[in-house]
Amino acid sequence: MKVSKWFFVITIIFLFNPQISYGVSELSQQFLEFAKKSEVYDWMVGVRRKIHENPELMYQEFETSKVIREELDKLGISYKHPIAVTGVVGFIGSGEPPFVALRADMDALSMQEMVEWKHKSKVPGKMHACGHDGHVTMLLGAAKILKTHSHLLKGTVVLIFQPAEEGGGGAKQVVDSGSLENVKAIFGLHVSPQQPIGQVFSKSGPILAGSGVFEAVITGKGGHAAIPHHSIDPILAASNVVVSLQHLVSREADPLDSQVVTVAKFQGGGAFNVIPDSVSIGGTFRAFSKESFMQLRQRIEEVIIGQSSVHRCNATVKFATKEKPFYPATINDDNLHIFFQEIAGSVLGVDNVKEMLPLTGAEDFSFYQEIIPGYFYFIGMDDGKKGKPASLHSPFFQLNEDVLPYGAAMQATLAATYLGQSQHLKNHDEL
């Protein structure tokens, strides 16, 4: 029998064994109570605000990395650095197998923070508008919990502080560095501003879409707008390209196979009476399977070149580069989903563990899932006190710091319990 099947068998035993289940419940509450201690909470808030005030874009997270390493040093946690330029990979436990990983992304976004508060971004045009400052803090919180209770760990927890999630594919760089060698599973989370605090949301299978970007230059012949017949109009050609690209989803995709094609950039011309020589367009495309994703890629190129040709224009199309790689779909492991539901229920209560529908957003956590079983989930942080919360990637985004203990306890409990469960699996194999 394959190990994956044994893992499933042991998971079932684990879930329905009263002694083991009691131990998990006791451990999870112990971790949550520890994370909620005033001194631990205040420490996490301080770390988060320090990172929030100094946001850094992808592969530029040098000061963020420094803060992480300083806190790991204080906790007595060993680590490797640099990984993927600015990344940090820490280790807690025996240093021996089994290995389980927890991941947090570090980078900020290029936008001006519009929230007026004491600890707003000090860097013009940069902001933590996606909660990555909170993710880093929760992973440091989990590290503090696990280090304090390291005598309970039956193996090694790998802490991955990863750069460049926002389009740079930092996870792929971490994978290519070999940092996940011997790791058997990985867990990651993301804050959700619209969902109630104290609840988690996820599902098995595809949870986030694969994502790609495209750019095209459509070239015609410029001239005076009053005599268009002496020109070859790239604006007209590009306009037809945009309309035709929308047909890829509405007329070529299975209605039950969710896909997205969005043209978000259209640039051409600089005067009201001049037809330009060229127009540039760009956008994103999303799908939940590799087959659908690659079909969209092929058809986007064909449509842009074909429609441009119809209007006597030439077109060049570029897709992802090394700096902006395609992101695979984020697909949660089925067995880890069963495990996650039990652990989340023990930490937060079974009524606070919710199933969700897939989202067409993308996450480079998917690069980890391509090589090992992985599980990604969302954690709510809306307390209903400030009206309708701003969405992710909004300049008005605010992170509710009361979510920090929940995220820290969740990650710590998932890791510690997974190691314990893996030990049961090992013992079973030895028998």
Q: Are residues 263 and 340 in the same domain?
A: no
Res 25: pLDDT: 82
End-to-end CA distance of the chain: 14
- Both 152 and 242 in one domain: the answer is no
Question: Are residues 126 and 146 both part of a single domain?
Answer: yes
70, 148: one domain: yes
* Separation CA 233–CA 279 (nearest Å): 9
Q: Do 223 and 283 belong to one domain?
A: yes
Q: How far apart are CA 350 and CA 28, in angstroms?
A: 13
Evaluate the CA torsion angle 121, 126, 129, 133 in order and state its sign. negative
Residues 74 and 188 in one domain: yes
Q: End of a domain among 318, 341, 361? A: 318
Q: Which of 293, 318, 343 is a domain's end point?
A: 318
CATH number at residue 289: 3.30.70.360
Q: Vertex 105, ends 351 and 27: CA angle to 5°?
A: 40
Give the count of domains, the chain: 2
With respect to residue 373, please indicate whether it lies within any of the assigned structural domains: yes
Taking 3-state DSSP, the helix, strand and coil percentages for the chain, each rounded to the nearest 5, stand at 45, 25, 30
Considering the domain architecture, whether residues 85 and 162 belong to the same structural domain is answered as yes
Q: What pTM was estimated for this model as a whole?
A: 0.90
User: Is residue 6 exposed (0-12), middle (13-18) or buried (19+ Cβ within 10 Å)?
Assistant: middle
Determine the pLDDT at residue 53: 98
Burial of 386: CB neighbours in 10 Å, binned 0-12, 13-18, 19+: exposed
Instruction: Provide the pLDDT for residue 22.
Output: 44
Does residue 137 lie in a domain region?
yes
Based on the fold, state whether residues 351 and 385 are members of the same structural domain.
yes
Residue indicated by tokens 């000061």? 63
Q: Is 323 a domain residue?
A: no
> Who's near 373: CB < 8 A, 6+ residues apart?
184, 185, 186, 333, 335, 336
Q: Domain boundary residue among 318, 348, 383?
A: 318
**What are the pLDDT tens digits along the chain (431 aa)?**
444 554 555 455 454 454 444 468 899 999 999 999 999 999 999 999 999 999 999 999 999 999 999 999 999 999 999 999 999 999 999 999 999 999 999 999 999 999 999 999 999 999 999 999 999 999 999 999 999 999 999 999 999 999 999 999 999 999 999 999 999 999 999 999 999 999 999 999 999 999 999 999 999 999 999 999 999 999 999 999 999 999 999 999 999 999 999 999 999 999 999 999 999 999 999 999 999 999 999 999 999 999 999 999 999 999 977 778 999 999 999 999 999 999 999 999 999 999 999 999 999 999 999 999 999 999 999 999 888 999 999 999 999 999 999 999 999 999 999 999 876 655 544 43
Identify whether 324 is part of a domain.
no
Amino acid 217 reads V
Q: How far apart are CA 342 and CA 353, in angstroms?
A: 9
CATH number at residue 411: 3.40.630.10
For residues 319 and 297, the answer to whether their CB atoms sit within 8 Å is yes
* Together in a domain, 202 and 235: no
Domain extent, residue 297, equals 210-318
Q: How far apart are CA 238 and CA 182, in angstroms?
A: 49
Q: Do residues 253 and 290 both lie within one domain?
A: yes
- Amino acid at the residue 5: K
